[in-house]
Amino acid sequence: MIRDLAKSIRSSLVGWAWRFTLRAGGVVDHGELPSKAVGDYELLGEVLRFKPYVRRVLADRCWLEDALGRKEELLREALRLEPYVKDVLADRYWLEDALARKDEVMSFLDQRRGQETARGAFGDEFNQFVALAGETPRLPVHPDDVNPQLSDRGSVTPIDRHYTYHPAWAARVLAKTRPPKHVDISSIVNFGAIVSAFVPIEFYDFRPAPVELDGLFTGAADLTQLHFPSDSIGSLSCMHVIEHIGLGRYGDPLDPDGDLKAIRELVRVLAPGGDLLVATPVGRPRVEFNAHRVYDHEAFARYFAPLELVQFALIEERGEGGMIVAPPPERVRAESYGCGCFWFRKPKQEEGAQA
């Protein structure tokens, strides 16, 4: 249906894409372009023409196959045109990101092809299973109850690197520091739920979590206006949270400086000598509204002054290894969406300062 719709308005969209491409490239006369470049720009117009349909079918996880017809052929051509794309569409981040993630995109296409094959084999496997179960199966097997899972066959178990490694990092820090109590602000709930087995946990979130476990208390808190007294918490964490504050994603008020206000509150309530664990996206600094912010790791650490940085570890976005402790700065800045894990400590006040 989408392919037919694309054909029905082909002339107007291609004309628009062609005119836009010529203007962006500084070309006035079609005849000024060599024949090869003309062909390349026409193909780029085709890429632009399909952009709305790519976005529409992406929600159904059928992008490119259903919308473009040419599947990976068109994408390979787009990758070939990388120099033209970067010059002509410098502000079209959707395609620039695809070019930066070409290996990931091609892997996705391979996965989709595998799922097509799996869909074709699913019916045969179901019939085979029914036959193996016999006429009186131990549990009912009926076509109305099928629940196809077509993407779980692979050589390795898939993981989300950010959310697998950063709670594991924080748990290992707590295993070293062994605080009598730990307060967590809005991190992934599983972290507090598991760690509460060996350290009492207080978990607070803008949206309270309905979890009941021994050793775990849950409540509500606004990270930009914490209700705790100053210098009162000896062990504190706030992981993969700060980057969201003020973007409205979770119903919080819009505030461009919401992250800085949250940081000031964390610094305020941390007790002298206390530990603060923070995880946040690091790499090319930017705001990806309304999802999150991404920070330069060194600039982010400076936001927490006067806290001291005890440890910094990097979780690479697409790496194959584990966490990298004290990575070279250039390695962190090479990331687009890495995860930085920061262990801060508040300096103890000297006796003279206290007086």
Spans of all domains in the chain:
2-100, 106-145, 161-354
pLDDT for 88 equals 56
Q: Which residues contact 157 (CB under 8 A, 6 or more apart)?
A: none
| Strand 216-220, strand 201-205: pairing | parallel
Q: Which residue has the higher pLDDT, 320 or 202?
A: 202
pTM of the full predicted structure?
A: 0.68
The pLDDT of 304-328, averaged and rounded, is 96
Is the pLDDT at 51 greater than 80? The verdict is no
Is the pLDDT at 54 greater than 60? The verdict is no
Q: What are phi and psi of 276, to 5 degrees?
A: -125, 125
Is the pLDDT at 57 greater than 60? The verdict is no
CA distances (Å), 125 to each of 3, 147, 185, 239, in order?
Answer: 32, 13, 47, 43
C-alpha to C-alpha distance for 187 and 271, rounded to whole angstroms:
20
pLDDT digits (tens, 9 = 90+) for 228-266: 999 999 999 999 999 999 999 999 999 999 999 999 999
Is the pLDDT at 46 greater than 60? The verdict is no
Homologous superfamily assigned to 161-354: Vaccinia Virus protein VP39 (3.40.50.150)
Give the pLDDT band (50/70/90) at residue 85: low
The pLDDT of 338-351, averaged and rounded, is 91
Which of 90-94, 113-117, 179-183 comes out lowest in average pLDDT?
90-94
Give the pLDDT band (50/70/90) at residue 105: confident
Residue type present at position 339: C
> Considering the chain, what is the average pLDDT of its residues?
82
C-alpha to C-alpha distance for 243 and 63, rounded to whole angstroms:
29
Omega prior to 306 cis, within 30 of 0: yes
* Of 173, 166, 183, 174, residue with least CA distance to 271: 183
pLDDT for 154 equals 79
pLDDT digits (tens, 9 = 90+) for 4-45: 444 444 444 444 444 444 444 444 444 444 444 445 445 555
Task: Name the CA dihedral angle for 322, 324, 325, 330, rounded to a multiple of 10 degrees.
Answer: -170
pLDDT for 108 equals 75
The pLDDT of 298-322, averaged and rounded, is 96
The pLDDT of 102-128, averaged and rounded, is 80
pLDDT digits (tens, 9 = 90+) for 139-186: 999 999 999 988 787 788 989 999 999 999 999 999 999 999 999 999
Which of 92-101, 120-129, 244-253, 332-341 comes out lowest in average pLDDT?
92-101
Give the pLDDT band (50/70/90) at residue 1: very low
pLDDT for 294 equals 98
**DSSP of 315-329, one letter per residue?**
E-SS-SS--EES--H
